[in-house]
Structure 1
Amino acid sequence: MAKVESFELDHNLVKAPYVRQAGYEQHETGAIVTKFDLRFVQPNQDSLPTGALHTLEHLLAINIRDYIDGVIDLSPMGCRTGFYLICWGEHTTEEIASALEKVLNIVLETTVVPATTAKECGNYRDHSLFGAKEYAKQVLAAGISRDPFVRTV
């Protein structure tokens, strides 16, 4: 059976919020893909409501590309505790965390959520800008750790 990195992680030991490198693959052609775990809330203790999660997904997916080159995808975790960010090339947790902080500050200033029509979004009615801002505030206030096993702030 294939191993899934996130299923190997002991979710009882991590301390959110944090950014951690969750994967690194190099293809035989030399192409590199890096995956990051952007954890917003503590696993098995909290979860992001779907409206806030969905709105954060839209805002992060659009704005993170202004700070990180080679973004392939930003997607919510099924457990609703954060997001996965997948990028071409090598990136550091410091680079990703710094970009995330910048984007969360943009979320706090946002007045309109992009791509929220039935044409642009598969669940356009399920958004909460208020909720997205509340979780952005929470993550920024706690500080984003670069090591999920040690709280730095």
Structure 2
Amino acid sequence: MTKDHTNVESFDLDHTKVKAPYVRLAGTKTGANGDVVTKYDVRFKQPNKEHMDMPALHSLEHLTADRIRNHSDQIIDWSPMGCQTGFYVSFINHNDYEDVLSILEATMQDVLQATSVPACNEVQCGWAASHNLEGAKQLAQQFLNKRDEWSTVFSDEA
């Protein structure tokens, strides 16, 4: 099977070579005024081997999108991957990888303390029936349990 080059950085990543969980710089863009946007691939599950259950992923998305902004005012977005194996987080004018890891760690600790899912209602969410707080907490805990592995992206780096 041949792999075609695409216009999407993550599609050109060899998903058979990565070792989740990890946090990987996926790209940077510089705007016309000099602002730099950095995007990170925050992978929770091993591609093509496991995935996050949708209600738990959905709740983790809501919780993280809300709580991560308590740790940085440079967050642009926290968004789920369609393959249900991770998320993308984007920052503006912030390129300190170790700080990104600290922000993620603090945010996942916040998720573990949550007693409800923010914006989990029909007014603020497009599929409010699809949430699982306990599942989100389990995903956060599993990710935190492997904190010392987040910087190792490829299996041959271990």
CA distance in 1, matches of 2:76, 2:146: 28
Deviations 1:88-136 (A, max 9, x none): 1132221111111111111111111110110000000000011111111
Residue 145 (1) aligns with residue 144 (2) = no
The answer to which of 82-91 and 47-56 deviates more is: 82-91
What RMSD, in angstroms, separates the aligned Cα atoms of the two structures?
1.9
SS of the residue corresponding to residue 68 of structure 2 reads helix
SS of the residue corresponding to residue 138 of structure 2 reads helix
Residue 103 (1) aligns with residue 107 (2) = yes
Normalising by structure 1, we get a TM-score of 0.92
Normalising by structure 2, we get a TM-score of 0.90
CA distance in 2, matches of 1:151, 1:62: 35
Q: Which among 79, 82, 85 is matched to residue 78 of structure 1?
A: 82
Quote the residue 1:61 is aligned against. Answer: 65
Residue 52 (1) aligns with residue 43 (2) = no
Q: What is the number of equivalent residue pairs in this alignment?
A: 153
Query: Structure 1 residues 111 and 67, CA, compared in 2 at 3 Å: closer, same or farther?
Result: same
Per the TM alignment, residue 2 of structure 1 is displaced from its structure 2 partner at its CA by 5.4
Task: Report sequence identity in percent.
Answer: 45
Quote the residue 1:122 is aligned against. Answer: 126
CA distance in 1, matches of 2:48, 2:99: 27
Contact 1:63 1:103 in 2 (8 A): yes
Query: Structure 1 residues 91 and 132, CA, compared in 2 at 3 Å: closer, same or farther?
Result: same
Contact 1:145 1:152 in 2 (8 A): no
Quote the residue 1:16 is aligned against. Answer: 20
Quote the residue 1:112 is aligned against. Answer: 116
